Amino acid sequence: MTRLAPLNLEALTPEQREVADAIRNGPRGGLRGPFEAWLRAPGLADPAQRVGAYCRFGSSLPADINELAILLTGKHWKAQFEFWAHARLALQAGLDPAIIEAVRTGAEPPFTRDLERVVYSFVTEYLTTNRVSDVTYRRAVETFGERGVVDLVGVVGYYGLVSMTLNVFEVEVPEGHENPL
């Protein structure tokens, strides 16, 4: 973290320690990305990390589709760490590497499934216009159901917060890796 010195994990307040332990012992397994910044405000860190755990691990969207939405959000906000981390996770979830590369470079992704097209249209339309047309909305509901659309909105919103945190506090990709964007 360029703008914030690393936290001394042995000197956390009880409230910080409780949140840090929840993150470390949860599905993420460690304090990466926005979490050290958020721990400075544990009242924000705790609900934010719980929302993030839902968005990442509890969403009704298929994992690869969820990761596509995260990549589109990270690309929009030019969040280097976010895109770097989730490009790897998207590959693990089975998203086509050519789609990841197209999102990274701003090219037209070579979608082969309607699920991918629907998420791409929904997320890019919203991030471009701050709205979603009736046609795009109906198509998303037909594809994912109302719960899926709510989950999609949650994922894009949460990762917007993550991207802002990473950008403001200049969280860098790990040493030895290049910025993807």
Residue 142 in this model has a pLDDT that exceeds 60:
yes
What does the pLDDT look like over 47-70, one tens digit per residue? Answer: 999 999 999 999 999 999 999 999
Supply the angle between the helices 97-105 and 63-76 in degrees, to the nearest 10.
20
Rounded to whole angstroms, the Cα distance separating 127 from 121 reads 10
Residue 2 in this model has a pLDDT that exceeds 80:
no
CB 57 within 8 A of CB 27: yes
CA distances from 151 to 3, 142, 145 (A): 32, 14, 10
When pLDDT is cut at 50, 70 and 90, the band that residue 127 belongs to is: very high
Residue 1: the pLDDT is 53
* CA angle 21–93–83, rounded 5-degree value: 70
9-14 contacts, C-beta under 8 A, 24 or more apart: 12/39, 13/42
CB 122 within 8 A of CB 136: yes
Task: Provide the whole-model pTM.
Answer: 0.94
Residue 98 in this model has a pLDDT that exceeds 60:
yes
Determine which helix (DSSP H) or strand (DSSP E) holds 86, and give its type and residue range.
helix 80-93
Rounded to whole angstroms, the Cα distance separating 144 from 123 reads 14
